[in-house]
Each structure stands twice: as structure tokens, then as C-alpha cells.
Amino acid sequence: MAVLTYIEAIRQAMWEEMKRDEHVFILGEDVGRYGGAFKATQSLYQEFGPDRVIDTPISESAIVGAAIGAALMGMRPVAEMQFADFISCAFDQIVNFAAKSYYRWGAKVPLVIRAPSGGGVHGGPFHSQNPEGWFFHVPGLKVVAPSTPRDAKGLLKAAIRDDNPVIYFEHKLLYRRIKEEVDEGDYIVPLGRADIKREGKDLTVLTYGAMLHASIEAAQKVADEGIDAQVVDLRTLLPLDWEIIQECVKKTNRVLIVHEDTKTGGIGAELAATIADQTFEFLDAPIRRVASLDTPVPYSPPLEEYFLPNPKKIAAAMRDLARY
């Protein structure tokens, strides 16, 4: 087993899938010769050639449109958005075409769109967003948001092999900050399965992406005060793993939802509503949320810090919830 960074794990997943299946190919802005803005596709062009690692014009709509066409013809495209923020340019292609074509015509669209998302990198309002909420609402899509290298690799491989369009949100902040031992060779992390990353009995944190790490740090902080938090990494946002979520609610009876996306209408809203609906009688406290403020992501570093959730804010919410 080798220690890989999050971005190396993503690259390894693509490499292995391209080796395994010649239908898999990559397209996006600067993904070829340059190796991608974040170097996620570095050396793939050299290995697999210009027919399988395709540089495109700066047009997200064209990238996704071309990828859908290829998928309909039996290919397995992996399209890269340079920043998840600009996925909105391809919104119509994704929402009206990719998501609905199997329902309307029985035509599968085995497409993966990799979208580097998230803040904390002083990128400002167009290079920091977490647009998972837009796609979470769309039947016909799958949405994935890994938080660790091992999951990043296994989930990307599972997404490439899935016959549905999958939006794969990879968090920019984690690219080179998070490392761990990753199995070499072929394994997948199945879509739709959450993972308990920290066992605890007093309350459950439901989270994903970069906030998993902030939540684990917060859980360690409050552990000294006698609060034993369970931390669940949702991993796949659509479809959510209600089985594990319900088990956790029944076990700990208190729920804190943490996401970096802004609060209103975020994943947390759906989580809270369904938990209240299905497990009301197991709740010993209100369901609480920690999320970004309902504003654009600020440029200014101090303002961005104020805007984003962090271990301190999460720990405060944990204390509050435990005391209730």
C-alpha cells in the first residue's frame, strides 16, 4: 500500500479505469498536455494519448454536451469542470438531458463529471462554491462527495462504472492536504453507502467532504469534555444512505448536520426533514445545522473564515446539543 494524497488517489482511479476499459476517456479544459489546472490528470495524456485525454474549448456546456453524446454511443466519459462553480454553464445539459434521457428514452448516460469544489482557499465567489445542492434536487443524477483518498479512489471508480450520470465533487482544499494509505489495485467504494468515520454515543454528526475533517477535529476537542460524538461521512449525497443515518439517530438520539454549502436549502435541510419525519420518536434534541452563511463566498480571508464552518464552530454546536 502506498500513501497517496487525495488528488493522487483521484488520478490513480482514472488511470486504472482507463487501463481496465478502453471506453473510458477524459475531456476538459487543459486536461491533456497541461495535465489539468490542479494537475489531476497529469501524465495521463502522455500515457493514453490525445484521443483519450481531450483538451476542449472553454465551454462547460460543450464539454458536457459532447460527453453525453459519447456516453449515448457507448463510451464512458469522465468530464472535468475546471471549477465546480462553472458547472452552471452546463446546467441544462446535465439537468434536462443527462438526468432524464434514461427515463425518456431508455438511453443510458454513463457519464462522470468531476467538479473541484469548496472554499477555504481564498478563491472568492467564483472559485469556492459547493454547488451540490443544485444537483441534489434532480432525480436521475447521482452525487458523490468523497473526503478521504481511499474513498476518493473507490468512489470515482464506482462512478465510472455506474450507468447513470454521476456528479463527482472533489474538494480542492483536500487535494494535497489529506494523505493516507490507499489500496493499490482494483477496489471500489459502492455508491449510496455512508461510512462511520468516528464511533461515539452522545450525538451524531452527519457530514461530507472537507467538513468531515473539521468535524473529526471538533469531536476530538469535545471528547476531553466528556462529549462522545459519532461522525458519519455521507460520501454519496444522492442517493443518501438512510439506513445508516437512521441507525445513528436511534443510537445517539441527537443529530448535528455539518456542511460547507450555504445553509438554506442545503443537503442538511433534506436530512433534517427526513430524520424528523422517519425517526421523530427517537429524537431527544432538536436537529441542529452548522453550514456556511447564506451569502456569496467572500474574497477577504478574515471574512471567508467568518463565513465558513470550522472545528471551533462545530465544537460549540456539539456542546450546545449535548447540553440540551
Partner 1 sequence: MKLEVIMPRMGESVVEGTVVKWLKSEGDRVEKDEPLVEISTDKVDTEIPAPASGILTQIVVHEGETIQVGTTMAYLETEEAAEQAPMAAPKKEERVPTAPQPSRKEEVKVVPLIEAPARAREGRFYSPLVRSMAKAEGVSLEELESVPGTGQGERVTKADLLRFLEAKRPQPTIEYPAERVEIMAMGVMRKAIAEHMVRSVHTSAHVTTVSEADVSRAVATREKLKDEFLKREGFALTYTPFFVSCAIRALKEYPIINSSLDGDNIIIKKFINVGIAVALEKGLIVPVVKGADEKSFFGLARAIHDLSERARHKKLHPDDVHGGTFTVTNPGMFGNLLGTPIINQPQVAILAIGAIKKRAVVIDDAIAIRSMSFLSLSYDHRVLDGALAGMFLQRIVQFLEEFDSGWVNL
Query: What mask, x for binding partner 1 by CB under 8 A, covers residues 241 to 270?
Result: ------------x-----------------
Nearer CB in complex with partner 1: 105/280: 280
Binder among 91, 102, 242, 282 for partner 1 (CB under 8 A): 282
C-alpha cell at 249: 439517530
Nearer CB in complex with partner 1: 67/275: 275
Peptide bond preceding 77: is omega within 30 degrees of 0, i.e. cis?
no
Those residues with Cβ within 8 angstroms of residue 226's Cβ, 6 or more apart along the chain or in another chain:
none
Nearer CB in complex with partner 1: 79/203: 203
- Binding flag, residue 226, partner 1 (CB under 8 A): no
Among residues 122, 127, 137, 213, which one is catalytic?
A: 127
Q: How far is the CB of 248 from partner 1 (least distance, A)?
A: 14
**Sequence-ordered alpha helix ranges (H) in the chain:** 6-20, 44-48, 60-72, 91-92, 101-105, 132-136, 149-161, 210-223, 242-252, 267-279, 301-307, 311-323
Binder among 284, 300, 303, 312 for partner 1 (CB under 8 A): 284
- Binding flag, residue 61, partner 1 (CB under 8 A): no
Cβ atoms of 170 and 271 within 8 Å: the answer is no
- Binding flag, residue 187, partner 1 (CB under 8 A): no
Binder among 62, 121, 283, 316 for partner 1 (CB under 8 A): 283
**Partners of residue 169 on adjacent β-strands:** 115
C-alpha cell at 217: 477535529
Round to whole Å and give the CA distance between 222 and 317.
10
Round to whole Å and give the CA distance between 164 and 99.
8
The residue range among 53-61, 67-75, 166-174, 279-287 that interacts with partner 1, by the rule CB under 8 A, is: 279-287
The residue range among 90-98, 180-188, 221-229, 282-290 that interacts with partner 1, by the rule CB under 8 A, is: 282-290
Round to whole Å and give the CA distance between 324 and 319.
9
Round to whole Å and give the CA distance between 32 and 82.
13
- Binding flag, residue 281, partner 1 (CB under 8 A): yes
Q: How far is the CB of 322 from partner 1 (least distance, A)?
A: 10
Q: Where in 49-122 does DSSP place strands (E)? A: 53-55, 76-80, 112-117
* C-alpha distances in Å from residue 191, one per residue of 67, 221, 238: 21, 31, 9
Nearer CB in complex with partner 1: 76/289: 289
Q: How far is the CB of 260 from partner 1 (least distance, A)?
A: 28
Q: Give residue 72's identity as a one-letter amino acid code.
A: L
Nearer CB in complex with partner 1: 20/250: 250
127 assigned to active site: yes
Could you list the residues that contact partner 1 (CB under 8 A)?
Answer: 253, 280-285, 323-324
Catalytic residue positions, numbered? 127
